[in-house]
Amino acid sequence: MRLLVLGATGLLGREVVRSAVRRGHQVLALGGSREPSAPRGVEVGRLARGDLAAAERWILDRFPEGIVNAAAMADVNECERDPEGARLANARLPERLAQLAHHVGARFVHVSTDMVFDGRGAPYRSTDPASPVNAYGRSKLEGEAAVMAAAGHGACVVRSTPILGNTPGGDRTVHERLFLDWKAGKVSGLFAEEIRQPVAVTNLADVCVELAERDNLSGIFHWGGRDAMSRHEMGVRIARRFGLDPAGLVRPVNYADIPDLPPRPRDLSVELRPLEGKLRTQPMGFDEILDELEVPRGCEAWWRERTGGEVVRRLVEGLDF
């Protein structure tokens, strides 16, 4: 199918492009402020932040059969500083995309977040009432409602849990940020009381593309990994995965230890049903997710010195962009 991917310079969007190419789709990849790099055959472009008219031109010129929206203001602190920008990226843009998708008869897959919940009612089902505690969650919840109102039965909203994976910059995801701390000689303080259910970026990307391929699924769904755990446990297991001793690299922290901590959802574990069971793509256990993580770019020498290990990079022929 002709598939339009928005947010293709981001952590998830980049992987959605790879997944779609692997599955044989004709892909049009749009970044935000940057132009995505993509394999030959993929048309690329940019959508300056909030440019709804440009989104309209891309869609009405190309008539995609499916659209995956991975574009977002996904940084919680940035959303708090700029709530209007957050609403534009996370609610107005998806709303317009959903209207256009409906207009051209395209399937619309929109990515949302577990942060629409307040963390007091886990494990969450996709039908549970949402009550976000910050500007990011509020803007994403507004986007979900707008998408469902505009595109109805042609649309899926996938609420994702925290996304793990490798990025070209080596500074975006959980394990990459931990490595940056460790390389700088810091001990990472990680909340022992905060529960999350991380997902692999590759797995979530496959789910997004599979949902675009399916015309018999619509509504709001949850997706994540199989295993929920505390942020501290996540850090310990990440250190061990790379042959590092967690003692001296991570330490447990409690909410009470941080003065003036803004509200944070404590437990965001989610039920993967009913989506699990309807898809060919299966959720991954945390050990499988860890297997996909690589030593971040820029941290190779530090890691080699610590462990004597050889850095292995998984390059997929034709897709190593």
Ligand X SMILES: NC(=O)c1ccc[n+]([C@@H]2O[C@H](COP(=O)([O-])OP(=O)(O)OC[C@H]3O[C@@H](n4cnc5c(N)ncnc54)[C@H](OP(=O)(O)O)[C@@H]3O)[C@@H](O)[C@H]2O)c1
Active-site residues, by number, are 136
Determine phi and psi for 15, rounding to 5 degrees: -75, -30
Considering beta carbons, is residue 128 or 306 the nearer one to ligand X?
A: 128
Considering beta carbons, is residue 70 or 100 the nearer one to ligand X?
A: 70
Considering beta carbons, is residue 70 or 295 the nearer one to ligand X?
A: 70
Minimum CB–partner distance for residue 234 and ligand X (Å): 12
Q: Which of 103, 105, 106, 129 is nearest to 116 (CA)?
A: 129
Considering beta carbons, is residue 74 or 190 the nearer one to ligand X?
A: 74
What one-character DSSP code corresponds to residue 45?
A: E
Task: Return residues touching ligand X (CB under 6 A).
Answer: 7, 9-13, 31-34, 47, 49-50, 70-74, 88-89, 93, 111, 113, 140, 160, 162-163
Q: Are 37 and 31 in contact (CB under 8 A)?
A: no
Q: Are 250 and 190 in contact (CB under 8 A)?
A: yes
> Hey, which residues does 157 pair with through a beta bridge?
110, 220
Q: Are 146 and 157 in contact (CB under 8 A)?
A: no
Q: Are 101 and 93 in contact (CB under 8 A)?
A: no
Residue 54 parent element (H or E): helix 52-62
Minimum CB–partner distance for residue 299 and ligand X (Å): 19
Minimum CB–partner distance for residue 90 and ligand X (Å): 7
How far from each other are the two terminal CA atoms of the chain, in whole angstroms? 22
Considering beta carbons, is residue 31 or 119 the nearer one to ligand X?
A: 31
Q: How many CB atoms lie within 10 A of CB 12?
A: 24
